[in-house]
Amino acid sequence: MPEEKKISMAVIRRLPRYFRYLHDLIKMDIKRISSRELSERMGITASQIRQDLNCFGGFGQQGYGYNVESLFNEISRILGVDNRFSCIIIGAGNMGTALANYENFRNRGFDIIAIFDVDPRKIGGTVNGIEIMSMDSLEDFVKEHKVDIAMLTVPNTHVTEVAEKVTSLGIKGIWNFSPHELRLGNGAIIENVHLSDSLMVLGYRLRSAGY
């Protein structure tokens, strides 16, 4: 990949936030912004913003600040928003359906091209115009279409098996919605959404705030 130095995960996880804030600035028709102004909006230090951005290049101008539009374009490029990632959803339950209906993903470079399930009553149907296919046809489908990401919204009991299946078919990205930790031998990249972890942290914080 174009970027040279090793970027820390702490920085990477902040990139989408920059993306969002810059997008908002554009919508507000703001043309330039200094690291100080942005830091006040985002609630982080100006130093951190400058450090973060300079991981990728010098996008600002001394005495001026940053041009909002060009900075937004840089962040977009870094995040690969203009890339197209082909995604499939595995599990057409409530969460899978919610994801299939989430229009935002497409604007971020993620196309959901099929949904897979084992339930014969669901197979053949569509969600948001996307066909629900049988798990039996997964292998053929992946052979015919380049698939970058599998979004796993299957029951916990099956997630390891499904994850092994999809990675064995060459899919490199796993977006895992099960609480299970996936430990895959191959080079798959796994990003977890642990909803109950998040909720439990909220519970902890509420209790320790005394509520």
Q: Which residues bind DNA (CB under 7 A)?
A: 8-11, 33-36, 44-48, 50-51, 53-54, 58-66
Greatest Cα pair distance, the chain, in angstroms, is: 64
Nearest to 169 by CA among 144, 149, 143, 151: 143
**Residue 45 touches its own copies, criterion: CB under 8 A:** no
Residue 31 tokens, joined? 């043309």
CA distances from 46 to 41, 52, 54 (A): 10, 10, 12
- Cβ closest to its own copies, residue 118 vs residue 190: 190
Rounded to a whole number of angstroms, the minimum distance from the CB of residue 61 to its own copies is: 26
Of 133 and 174, which has the nearer Cβ to its own copies? Answer: 174
Single-letter code of the amino acid located at 63? G
Q: What are phi and psi of 132, to 5 degrees?
A: -95, 120
What distance in Å separates the CA atoms of residue 173 and residue 149, rounded to the nearest whole number?
4
The site that binds its own copies (CB under 8 A) totals a number of residues, namely 61
Name which of residues 125 to 154 contact its own copies (CB under 8 A). Answer: 148-149
Per rule CB under 8 A, is residue 13 in the interface with its own copies?
A: yes
Q: Which does 194 bind (CB under 5 to 8 A by kind): its own copies, DNA, none?
A: its own copies
**Nearest approach, Cβ of residue 31 and DNA (Å):** 13
Distance CA 106, CA 108 (A): 5
**What token pair was written down for 101?**
């209906």
211 binds its own copies (CB under 8 A): yes
Would you count residue 36 as binding its own copies (CB under 8 A)?
no
Of these, 46, 81, 118, 169, which contacts its own copies (CB under 8 A)?
81
- Residue 20 phi/psi, 5-degree rounding, is -65, -45
User: Of the candidates 79, 113, 135, 169, which one interacts with its own copies according to CB under 8 A?
Assistant: 79
End-to-end CA distance of the chain, in Å? 48
| Residue 90 dihedral angles phi and psi, to the nearest 5° | -110, 115
Residues that bind its own copies (CB under 8 A): 1, 3, 7, 12-13, 15-17, 19-20, 42-43, 78-81, 83, 85, 93-95, 97-99, 101-102, 104-105, 108-110, 148-149, 172-173, 175, 179, 181, 183, 187, 189, 191, 193-211
